[in-house]
């Protein structure tokens, strides 16, 4: 079998395209494959699709292909222009091995999109010996294309949370389909306008704001206002992990204040914040010593209020509100200012806290995505722009269909 026939089969070319020649340069570590078409071949107009048009002239183009062993490989072809009676002279753009205006073949881009899911873009760029800006152009093209095809018509349960994009107060908000564990939308900022942009994006992808029956978020006033304004038919559930974070922060504040007069509390922070079954043996022993009644530690009282609140989420729906009322009375009469402040916060968001017993949703899934995003950001040592970060977020959790050959 001749080399042209071998490459013809390997590339999967069909009529009228055919491999006309190949050249291997050992010094340059490069394989060049030339593709042509027989004289008299006909093509379709790229604009109106009129068929059986002969080539008017040709333009030579080159695309980088998958490596031939350790050597770079390139495809070069005479791409015809056709003279359409309706549209005039047009360059055909339905090349079967590459997309329009790309300097890479589809298979090369498929490899890139596979690698960037698990490797930093700079590492991929170095691996394939290309500028990382060219790699980002590939990523943005397919992410944008995949998002255009996304269908959000079945979305009913949404979670929203923010993730840091850079040092300082720079954030990206993530909106997730809680039923399908899919990132629906990512956008700059964490104010109420992010919810407005999500609503617009949802509509653009066949979604219906009135079909969103459940929303889950933290107690951010911006998210609360955004959901109330843009999704009036949705019930808002406050994320129980965020609620517990508020209680934990209150316990820790009590410890830090008391530690100034009670040095035995030094280096005990995580003992009071973790559940007992997650503590080491030495930590359990320390906890038991500090909980002795004669010590009368304020931190110990705060700790028991925290443990009692955890039991709230195990209550049957019929007794949940009465349990929360009793806990609220205890917390607000504890004479522990941080605990009282946390209790007042719970009171201001009462309905959203109790909504959990109906919706049973939380943002644990979002925390998982957030962890993956921050891990990818750390490996890449950050991204130059939020647009790059958002593209990576969609790659990690968007479940987009890129339509690439595999």
Where are the domains positioned within the chain? 1-100, 104-236+372-406, 240-359
Arithmetic mean of pLDDT, 6-17:
90
Pairing status of strand 30-36 against strand 71-84 = parallel
Model confidence at 381, pLDDT cuts 50, 70, 90, reads confident
Neighbours of 154 (CB within 10 A): 12
- Cβ atoms of residues 162 and 190 within 8 Å: yes
At 85, list the tokens.
Answer: 């009676």
Output the CA–CA distances (angstroms, integers) from residue 242 to 220, 260, 367, in the order listed: 10, 28, 11
Residue 44 DSSP SS3: coil
**Residue 201 or residue 366, greater confidence:** 201
| Pairing verdict, β 235-238 and 170-177 | unpaired
For residue 276, name the pLDDT band (cuts at 50, 70, 90): confident
104-236+372-406: CATH, from 1.10.1760, 3.30.420, 2.60.40, 3.40.50: 3.30.420
Q: Output the pTM of the full model.
A: 0.89
């Amino acid at each position: 079998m001749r080399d042209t026939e071998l490459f013809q089969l390997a590339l999967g070319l069909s009529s009228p395209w055919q491999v006309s020649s190949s050249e291997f340069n050992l010094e340059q570590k490069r394989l060049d494959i030339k593709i042509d078409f027989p004289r008299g071949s006909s093509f379709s107009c790229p604009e109106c699709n009129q068929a059986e048009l002969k080539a008017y002239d040709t333009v030579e183009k080159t695309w980088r292909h998958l490596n031939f062993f350790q050597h770079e490989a390139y495809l070069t072809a005479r791409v015809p222009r056709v003279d359409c009676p309706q549209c005039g002279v047009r360059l055909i753009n339905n090349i079967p091995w590459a997309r329009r205006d790309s300097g890479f073949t589809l298979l090369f881009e498929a490899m890139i999109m596979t690698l960037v899911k698990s490797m930093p873009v700079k590492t991929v760029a170095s691996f394939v010996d290309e500028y990382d800006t060219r790699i980002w152009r590939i990523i943005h093209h397919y992410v944008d294309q995949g998002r255009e095809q996304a269908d959000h018509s079945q979305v009913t349960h949404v979670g929203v949370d923010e993730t840091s994009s850079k040092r300082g107060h720079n954030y990206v908000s993530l909106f997730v389909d809680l039923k399908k564990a899919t990132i629906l939308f990512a956008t700059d900022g964490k104010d109420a306008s992010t919810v407005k942009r999500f609503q617009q994006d949802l509509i653009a992808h066949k979604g219906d704001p009135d079909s969103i029956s459940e929303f889950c978020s933290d107690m951010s006033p911006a998210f609360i206002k955004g959901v109330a304004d843009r999704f009036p038919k949705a019930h808002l559930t406050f994320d129980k992990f965020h609620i517990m974070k508020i209680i934990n922060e209150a316990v820790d504040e009590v410890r830090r204040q008391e530690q100034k007069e009670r040095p035995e509390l030094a280096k005990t922070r995580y003992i009071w914040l973790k559940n007992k079954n997650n503590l080491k043996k030495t930590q359990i022993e320390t906890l038991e010593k500090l909980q002795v009644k004669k010590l009368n530690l304020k931190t110990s009282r705060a700790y028991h209020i925290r443990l009692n609140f955890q039991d709230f989420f195990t209550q049957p729906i019929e007794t949940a509100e009465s349990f929360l009322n009793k806990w609220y009375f205890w917390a607000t009469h504890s004479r522990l200012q941080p605990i009282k402040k946390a209790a007042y916060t719970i009171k201001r968001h009462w309905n959203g806290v109790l909504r959990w017993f109906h919706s049973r949703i939380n943002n644990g899934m979002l925390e998982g995505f957030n962890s993956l995003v921050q891990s990818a950001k750390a490996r890449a040592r950050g991204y130059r722009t939020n647009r790059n970060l958002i593209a990576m977020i969609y790659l990690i959790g968007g479940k987009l269909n890129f339509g690439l050959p595999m």
